[in-house]
Amino acid sequence: MSPEYRLSLDPAELQLDVIHGYLTRSYWSPGIPRETVARAIAHSLCIGAYQGADQVGFARVITDRAAFAWLADVFVLEEHQGRGIAKAMLTALHAHPELQGLRRWMLVTLDAHSLYADLGWEPIGEPARFMERYVPDIYAKAAE
């Protein structure tokens, strides 16, 4: 990551307008309400990437800090992509003291498999064991 960028785990630095603005137009959470994003941030371990005072990247981990972590909402604004920011955020989260000794980390991605593979992530070994409850249009339903 270029020295013009910095990472922070300080929740006070997170810029809800930037985070919500990206997530609401992302493929994984289109139309997500601002209040939902704020609640998700409040109950997660989050990292931000910044250029000066401007937030340019974000990732969060939902975890019990003992056995399990779910990596979610990883993004870098388009004009800052390709500079190692996502990899730096993930490396920092992997090294976080409260996330050591976890038995399982999980995530879902449509298009960033190589990024995660470079950091030791692998496809699920036994997908038949996993189940989900998935409501893909939950935010659209809430807006009605």
Quick check: 116 and 7 in contact, CB under 8 A?
no
Write the pLDDT tens digit of every residue in 82-106.
999 999 999 999 999 999 999 999 9
Write the pLDDT tens digit of every residue in 38-47.
999 999 999 9
pLDDT of residue 144: 62
CATH architecture, domain defined by 5-143: 3-Layer(aba) Sandwich (3.40)
Q: Which residue has the higher pLDDT, 51 or 134?
A: 51
Number of Cβ within a 10 Å radius of residue 56: 23
Write the pLDDT tens digit of every residue in 4-40.
999 999 999 999 999 999 999 999 999 999 999 999 9
Distance (Å, whole) CA 85 – CA 111: 16
Average per-residue pLDDT for the chain: 94
Q: What is the CA radius of gyration of the chain?
A: 15
